Structure 1
Amino acid sequence: MYVLARWPLVPATDVPENRDREPPERDTAPASSTGLASGRPLRSAAFRWFLAGQSISMAGSVMAPVALAFGVLEVTDSAAWLSAVTTAALVPMVATLLLGGGVADRYRRDTVLCLTSLGAGITQSGVAFLLLTHQPPAFLLPLAALNGVFQGLTKPALRGIVSNLAAGRGLQQASSLLASVRNATRITGPTTAGLLTASVGGGWAIAADAASFLLAAAFFARMSLPGLPPRTEDGLTMVGELREGWSYFGSQPWIWTVTAAFAVFNAVNMGVWQILGPVIANDTIGAEGWGLVLSARGVGALLASVVMVKLTVRRPMVPALSLMTLGAVPLILLGTGANTFWLAAAALAAGAASEFFTVVWETAHNTYVPERLLSRVGAHDEFWSFVPIPVGQLSTPFLAAAFGTAAVAVTGGGVAAVAMLVPLLVPSLRRIEINRNDD
């Protein structure tokens, strides 16, 4: 069955205080509410429009970092300006996530995606114009900040809208199809951006990204999800709904323990892999070897997302989190000076494990979190797991200087692996079921 609107649902205050004793209640709705087939998301016109829009949007988005980096350097020849522009987008994006969760749960998610994609397309068009006309780089900062705001408003809507388009077995299939597209664009996008940048310049590559946002907005406008019920005068305000989202998030150990684990994992992984990785690779396998390792990770993620379209695991959280320990292996191998072959093999396995977890996690959220709270809970999940990343990136060089690069990489890998196993101590997490026959 497909579920396009499920209102009203049980409020967060009705959830038992101790959720460790039993698995969370499943969020269900009658199949007749939509008339769409269960387990076949591609039969839904709304999902097809969403998939097409997301495919185009992601194709542009994965090109943007390469295009922006070389475009800014082309104009300024300054790493400081590049850092300023990227930070100007990152900080507003993270700061807006929680508000975005409230907006996406309060209004129709297709409308939110259409408007934010339109806004992102307009701001990227401005960035492209500034780069192509070689304007002062300071003008890029407000546009980058606005683009970050639109990203922050977009992410929670994306976390919640799949439950409006699919249900039951279709949830995992829909998430897997989206992940397959995402991973395919991650492999082809940077190369395409590099070719465009080298041939016509970074500004034109950013213009292509802007066009992808505008085209995606047109596709999202065709989704036409049902309108939400009118709100009563005594209904919650936006602030009240944000509090409700936080209350529900805090009442679910199966969610916040995983979020806390990824806060640790992300801080360590981004610090060691993104900061120390190129440094170590420069002295061992070289830039070409490092590029091969990164590509192998993308291939692993793509393979896993394709397999997950058909693979059925009834109680997936134990294998998903256990496999995530493979994400720590490349960090440890970096510290031990492994060659390109072993690093690439470990990166491929880590990419596959990460994508397996991502599909499982999104399916579990869409299955168990009430639809009207999905975006707010997803926003908290992303916000609290993103916040420690700058801490990891800033502290890693100092730790490496004090204790040695190899020691930090190996220790970081061990910490990351342990962090992935800690949530399995929560009984309700271990008992979560998806893809049940009665869906």
Structure 2
Amino acid sequence: MSPQLGNERRAADGVHSGESGRFTSPVRSSRLSPLAAPAFRYFFVGQVVNRVGSSMAGVALAFAVLDIDDSASALGWVIAASSVPMVVFMLLGGAIADRLPRAVVLRGCNLVQGVVQTATAVLVITGYAEIWHLVVLQAVAGTVFAVSYPAFLGMVPILLPVEERKAAFLLIGQATSAVGILGPAVSGVLVATAGPGWALAVDAATYLVAAGLLLLVRLPPGDRSNAKPSVIGDFLAGWAFARHLGWVIPAASASLVFNALVSGAINVLGPVIADDTIGSEGWGLARSGQAVGVFVAAFFLAKVTLRAPMRAIMIAFVVWCVPMLVLGTHVNVWVLSASFVVAGAALSLLDLAWNLLVQEKVPEEMLSRIMAIDGFFSFVATPIGQLAVGPLAIAFGAGRVQLGCFALAALVAAFALTRRRITDVRLTGGPPPQLTG
């Protein structure tokens, strides 16, 4: 099969030209130059608005659950309710995102998420929310995310030329982290004063605003003449290509463990430990540190040339887990905040390295499927981590569980760095390959 990259790659108003679909840039790439393309600009603003609400929602949902049932297990069930359908439908979601116009897919997903979060906020504000209500609503949200996640990750390469993409990836991470710096802290204060329902209501509104902004991202339909007759056929073609690449599945299998550890130890057990020590305000402030780390690291990463992306990714994964060391020993607001700053810097490096690797090695028509396969492996064990951490904390103590999770993360990274399929991958700066039969 040979790719036909046509119309969808010729859509970033005035930034590239040519009948063959090759990009030419009228100006030298700079940190803000991706914003010169109107389609990318509307997409970018929509994602920043979305992040405003999302940065508040995590803290708000955690404490909304704890207000109903003050236990790590209850919080684990609610968060897992989102993770399970997300994993189950992720692979098909990637095929759907490659098959349909990605901007349209994202627009519909934002609308559904806005309705779901509105219902959640109303139930929490009125006091009628029960754990099963939140479980059902989060299950719907997780199903929608299974489609929106691979669609989002496939947008930048169809909006911008190759030379603009590194700046775009850093700009997205930096801008969304900037609004995320205050989001968790504001959410913590709002939860402590007005209640978690109002923070969830803000999140619902931002989903709807983001959907409206995506109406302005108008792209011609991409050439999908090589698509299979069914979504299942498209998925199977994507799976075959991932196996051909060789590094996608091994790398995603390693990240499977990291995501399970972080989702359980930090996202579930972290708020429980904070509730007994530094409170919701302290937890919100500490979590804001991660956004600070992402924001600051982007300035340095813009000047860095990555050649061995997988090595950088595995090291960054371990550094991302550093807050576990603080949560497992002595919880202090400022020390915990500093650990999240370090974790955020690692997350920025990880995200950039992966995005640059995929956009260089994967043709546009396969982007969402490869991202979905990576997402499936990355998140498949997340519900296990979320559900297991409560009983483990009861059996061994929360602090020991945190330290054990960090030790396991270090061991997995060390093992991954011995695998040549991971360590031999190199970035060359070349254009994406053409897909052949």
Task: Provide Cα deviations, 1:343-390, integer angstroms capped at 9, x if missing partner.
Answer: 554443232112211111112112211211111111111121112123
Could you tell me how far apart the structure 1 residues matched to 2:135 and 2:432 are?
A: 52
Residue 41 of structure 2 corresponds to residue 48 of structure 1: yes
Residue 110 of structure 2 corresponds to residue 117 of structure 1: yes
Structure 1 residue identity aligned to 2:121: A
Q: What corresponds to 1:183 in structure 2? A: 177
Residue 62 of structure 2 corresponds to residue 66 of structure 1: no
SS for the counterpart of 2:260 is helix
Q: Which of 140, 143, 154 is matched with 1:149 structurally? A: 143
TM-score normalised over the length of structure 1: 0.79
SS for the counterpart of 2:247 is helix
Q: What corresponds to 2:165 in structure 1? A: 171
Q: Which of 195, 199, 206 is matched with 1:212 structurally? A: 206
Structure 2 residue identity aligned to 1:327: W
SS for the counterpart of 2:86 is helix
Could you tell me how far apart the structure 1 residues matched to 2:217 and 2:91 are?
A: 25
Distance 1:312 1:437, change over 3 A: farther
Could you tell me how far apart the structure 2 residues matched to 1:325 and 1:313 are?
A: 18
SS for the counterpart of 1:313 is coil
Task: Provide Cα deviations, 1:69-124, integer angstroms capped at 9, x if missing partner.
Answer: 555677x5776876655444333233222221011000110111111112222333
Task: Provide Cα deviations, 1:166-222, integer angstroms capped at 9, x if missing partner.
Answer: 232322211111111232233211233344455655444333222211111111121
Could you tell me how far apart the structure 1 residues matched to 2:333 and 2:188 are?
A: 23
Structure 2 residue identity aligned to 1:6: L
Could you tell me how far apart the structure 1 residues matched to 2:233 and 2:378 are?
A: 23
Q: What is the aligned residue count?
A: 413
- The answer to whether the 8 A contact 1:162-1:366 is kept is no
- The answer to whether the 8 A contact 1:173-1:310 is kept is no
Cα distance, 1:301 vs structure 2: 2.3
| Structure 1 range deviating more: 310-319 or 80-89 | 80-89
| Structure 1 range deviating more: 172-181 or 291-300 | 291-300
Could you tell me how far apart the structure 1 residues matched to 2:327 and 2:374 are?
A: 29
Q: What corresponds to 1:249 in structure 2? A: 242
- The answer to whether the 8 A contact 2:181-2:289 is kept is no
Distance 1:154 1:322, change over 3 A: same
- The answer to whether the 8 A contact 1:314-1:435 is kept is no
Structure 1 residue identity aligned to 2:208: L
Residue 353 of structure 2 corresponds to residue 378 of structure 1: no
Distance 1:417 1:113, change over 3 A: same
TM-score normalised over the length of structure 2: 0.80
Distance 1:65 1:325, change over 3 A: closer
Gaps of 5+ in 2: 8-17
Gaps of 5+ in 1: 9-28
- The answer to whether the 8 A contact 2:292-2:344 is kept is yes
Structure 1 residue identity aligned to 2:342: A
Could you tell me how far apart the structure 1 residues matched to 2:302 and 2:356 are?
A: 12
Could you tell me how far apart the structure 2 residues matched to 1:64 and 1:289 are?
A: 16
Structure 2 residue identity aligned to 1:170: E
Q: Which of 102, 114, 121 is matched with 1:128 structurally? A: 121
Structure 2 residue identity aligned to 1:389: T
Residue 222 of structure 2 corresponds to residue 228 of structure 1: yes
Could you tell me how far apart the structure 2 residues matched to 1:411 and 1:58 are?
A: 31
Residue 5 of structure 2 corresponds to residue 6 of structure 1: yes
Cα distance, 1:423 vs structure 2: 3.5
Q: What corresponds to 1:26 in structure 2? A: none
Distance 1:394 1:372, change over 3 A: same
Q: What corresponds to 1:108 in structure 2? A: 101
SS for the counterpart of 1:432 is coil
Structure 1 residue identity aligned to 2:146: G
Task: Provide Cα deviations, 1:250-295, integer angstroms capped at 9, x if missing partner.
Answer: 3333222211111122223333334555676788x75587666544
Could you tell me how far apart the structure 2 residues matched to 1:274 and 1:372 are?
A: 34
- The answer to whether the 8 A contact 2:327-2:402 is kept is yes
Distance 1:384 1:161, change over 3 A: same
- The answer to whether the 8 A contact 2:252-2:378 is kept is yes
Could you tell me how far apart the structure 1 residues matched to 2:269 and 2:204 are?
A: 32
Distance 1:241 1:290, change over 3 A: same
Distance 1:293 1:208, change over 3 A: closer
Distance 1:240 1:409, change over 3 A: same
- The answer to whether the 8 A contact 1:325-1:416 is kept is yes
Structure 1 residue identity aligned to 2:406: G
Q: Which of 240, 263, 272 is matched with 2:265 structurally? A: 272
Could you tell me how far apart the structure 2 residues matched to 1:401 and 1:140 are?
A: 24
Cα distance, 1:432 vs structure 2: 1.5
Q: What corresponds to 1:89 in structure 2? A: 82
Identity of aligned residues (%): 35
SS for the counterpart of 1:251 is helix
- The answer to whether the 8 A contact 1:335-1:405 is kept is yes
Distance 1:336 1:59, change over 3 A: closer
Q: Give me the CA root mean square deviation.
A: 3.7
Could you tell me how far apart the structure 2 residues matched to 1:290 and 1:136 are?
A: 23
Distance 1:136 1:353, change over 3 A: closer
Q: What corresponds to 1:358 in structure 2? A: 351
Could you tell me how far apart the structure 2 residues matched to 1:210 and 1:62 are?
A: 12
